[in-house]
Structure formats: C-alpha cells, structure tokens
Amino acid sequence: MTVCLLGAGNVAVHLGKQLQAAGYKVLQVYSRTDASARSLAQTLACAWTDDLQSLSPADYYLCALKDEALPLVLQQIPSFPGVWLHTSGSLGLDVFESYTKNCGVLYPLQTFSKQRELNLSKVPFFIESRSPEVLSNIRSMAEKLTERVYELDSSKRSYLHLAAVFACNFSNHLYELAAEILQDQALSFDLLLPLIDETAGKVHEKSPKEAQTGPALRMDHNIIDKHLALLESQPARAELYRLLSESIFESNKKV
C-alpha cells in the first residue's frame, strides 16, 4: 500500500516513520515549505514537493496539517481516487465533503515532537469513516501502528480533543510558569521532576479527583494569601492562581 504525506510537522514525521516501518510505502511528502518537505523526504527516502498539482497517485493521502490549512489545500488539489485521511482531533469528516466521499480519520491521541522518539504501540488511535470499506482499511492501518484502536465519531472526538488540551497543553503551560518562577530565584526546574512524575503516576491508580492535594483543596487561606503576595507584581499570574484554586476547591467541595 502506498501513502502520500501532506504535511511535514511533528505528526507527519512520526506517522511517516511508523507507517514505513509497518510496511507501507511512503511515496511522497508535500509541504508548502520546500525545506520541510525535503527534510522529511530525506528521512523517509522518498520524493517531495511543495506543489499540490504535483502530488503522486497513491492508495492513501494522509493529511497531517493545521486545521485551518486542510480546507484550503483541498480546494487546490485535482481529484485523486485514493483514500483521504486527516489526523485532527477537532476536524470532522465534513471537511472532505466537497472533495471526496472516500475519506476518514486517523487520530493519534498523543503529543508529538520531531526530536523525541515515540513508541506508538500503546498510543490510542481513533478512527472514523462513513464507508464501511474505508473504515476497515483505516482500522487495518491503525492496527499496524498500535494495540489500541477505537471507532469514534466527530462529535465525541472533539470532546476528547478538548479534554486532551486540558490534560496536556494547559498542564505543560503551568510547568512553564513554574519553571519561570524557579528561574527567577536561581533554582532548577529539575527539582520539580519527581513531584511531576508522582502526580502523573497517581492518576494511573486513582481518579484525578481522588489524587488532588494542596492548599486549594481545603482553601487554606494562610498559604494561599502568602502565595498571592509573592505574585503581587504579576497580576495575570495571581489571577490564574486564584481561578485554579477556586476551581479545585469547588470541584472537591463536599455536598
């Protein structure tokens, strides 16, 4: 089976490598940035292009693009008979509606960075198609990448993506703020790593609500007020601290 990759970012890099390792032949990489397309193509030993009119015929076209880019890209592509897939958590199938009915979704629920190797075998993949035949083909592709394949419609997938933003993107931003607080005091972020690891580890064994600790859980104003005083010169961070503390307290308040 042959694949053309549209996109050369984090997701495309990982899926391209893994699909190739699983026996799929990656024919070509497209990116509007020639250097990005060339870089990934060299890794995969395949062709590349920055011209949508020059896409190669393939069995699958895997679109690992920004959500806002995919509709614009589809408007510029001649009709191809292959199966068109996107990897987005927040785009529905209807993005392909005016282009092809031979389409589906292959969404890996993971955070990707080009420089960090990932074992996808435990990563949940979520698939969708209105065509039973296409859905079966996507399932076959996903099962070559991971042990965990789930069928999920666009609506549920949007909520899953929302939850992932809370769990991953927002928590990482809080790590960034914590790192800046420590940096201002000439302290290393490494000091927090055992705490971060234990916090993440606990939710493998109990619910996040059960795992919650800290001064906001009991609304300990003595500690909270001290922290807010330390943030006096940073009103935006102080407001975020208040909002999160109130959310923790309200979420765990006994009825």
pLDDT digits (tens, 9 = 90+) for 104-156: 999 999 999 988 999 999 999 999 999 999 999 999 999 999 999 999 999 99
Query: pLDDT tens, 67-91?
Result: 999 999 999 988 888 999 999 999 9
Give the three-class secondary structure for 194. helix
User: What pLDDT was estimated at residue 9?
Assistant: 95
State the pLDDT confidence band at 235, using cuts at 50, 70 and 90.
Answer: very high
User: What pLDDT was estimated at residue 92?
Assistant: 95
- Total length of the chain: 255
Angstrom distance (rounded) from CA 220 to CA 153: 43
Confidence (pTM): 0.93
φ, ψ (nearest 5 deg) of residue 42: -65, -40
Torsion of CA 167, 168, 170, 171, to 10 degrees: 80
Q: Are strands 149-151 and 2-6 parallel, antiparallel or unpaired?
A: unpaired
CATH superfamily of domain region 157-252 = ProC-like, C-terminal domain (1.10.1040.20)
Domain 2-152 matches domain 157-252 at the CATH topology level = no
User: What pLDDT was estimated at residue 5?
Assistant: 98
CATH superfamily of domain region 2-152 = NAD(P)-binding Rossmann-like Domain (3.40.50.720)
For the chain, the structural domain boundaries read 2-152, 157-252
Angstrom distance (rounded) from CA 165 to CA 153: 18
User: What pLDDT was estimated at residue 83?
Assistant: 96
